[in-house]
Structure 1
């Protein structure tokens, strides 16, 4: 059953979510150095975490794309979005005013932290819509 009070999941939402995940996953694998600074030091070597999260994004994308695995894929995506949050916090903590990279500027780095909430809700709505039998493609 859909979350009470939540806006309906728009048509194409599941496939758009899968496209977002696939794009992020490919980027993690093709340009891992972009993400290595996001890995909190307490997690150890960053490369395995970056590659692992990229593979997890691709697996979630594939699962969300297929109707038979869409609900499980969307729920896994919720978990993934929560689990990568420490990387976003690390990015915010490491941000510096005047950084050459726009992504490392404090306004951007801190501003993206609350964006995890709508991402989790998006994946949750896809899972709920699938559970209720509504179209999520």
Structure 2
């Protein structure tokens, strides 16, 4: 992953992670009611996003962080599908934009691929 892309991805993750805490109710709202402990999972995924963002920013733990981020992105994908099918807005008092909800789905695929590619990168040797 190129440095600019990695830093942008990092910024997106850290911002989203912080929003899990500052707008927790919105994230609970978009989750299917069948999922237990939704508030806990919102906070947990917020922590995961912040940690992944920090790892990306500082280019740390490539294999582990990239693998976990790939799994994480795949696991949250069904919530985005649920939002699109149910036409769920991003919060209880907001308007849903179905086209935007469906457009998010293919846009998430490069995030999954990017995380996977990052997990495959070898740490550059500083030895000669």
The interval holding the TM-score normalised by the smaller chain is: 0.7 to 0.9
Q: Structure 1 residues 101 and 133 mapped into 2: Cα distance closer, same or farther (>3 Å)? A: same
Return the alpha-carbon distance in structure 2 between the equivalents of residues 14 and 30 of structure 1.
24
State the structure with bigger RCO (CA 8 A, min sep 6), 1 or 2.
1
**Could you tell me which of 121, 124, 127 is aligned with 1:133?**
124
| 1:20-59 correspondence runs (5 A) | 20-59=12-51
Give secondary structure in 2 for the equivalent of 1:40.
Answer: coil
**Could you tell me which of 10, 13, 17 is aligned with 1:18?**
10
Size of the aligned set, in residue pairs, is 121
Gaps of 5+ in 1: 1-8
1:93 matches 2:89: no
The TM-score normalised by the length of structure 2 is 0.80
1:69 matches 2:61: yes
Give secondary structure in 1 for the equivalent of 2:34.
Answer: helix
- Which structure 1 residue ranges, 4+ long, deviate > 4 Å from structure 2? none
Give secondary structure in 2 for the equivalent of 1:67.
Answer: coil
Q: Structure 1 residues 39 and 67 mapped into 2: Cα distance closer, same or farther (>3 Å)? A: same
Return the alpha-carbon distance in structure 1 between the equivalents of residues 60 and 80 of structure 2.
31
What is the alpha-carbon root mean square deviation over aligned residues? 2.2
Give secondary structure in 2 for the equivalent of 1:54.
Answer: helix
Tell me the CA shift for residue 16 of structure 1: 2.0
Q: Structure 1 residues 38 and 63 mapped into 2: Cα distance closer, same or farther (>3 Å)? A: same
Gaps of 5+ in 2: none
Give secondary structure in 2 for the equivalent of 1:107.
Answer: helix
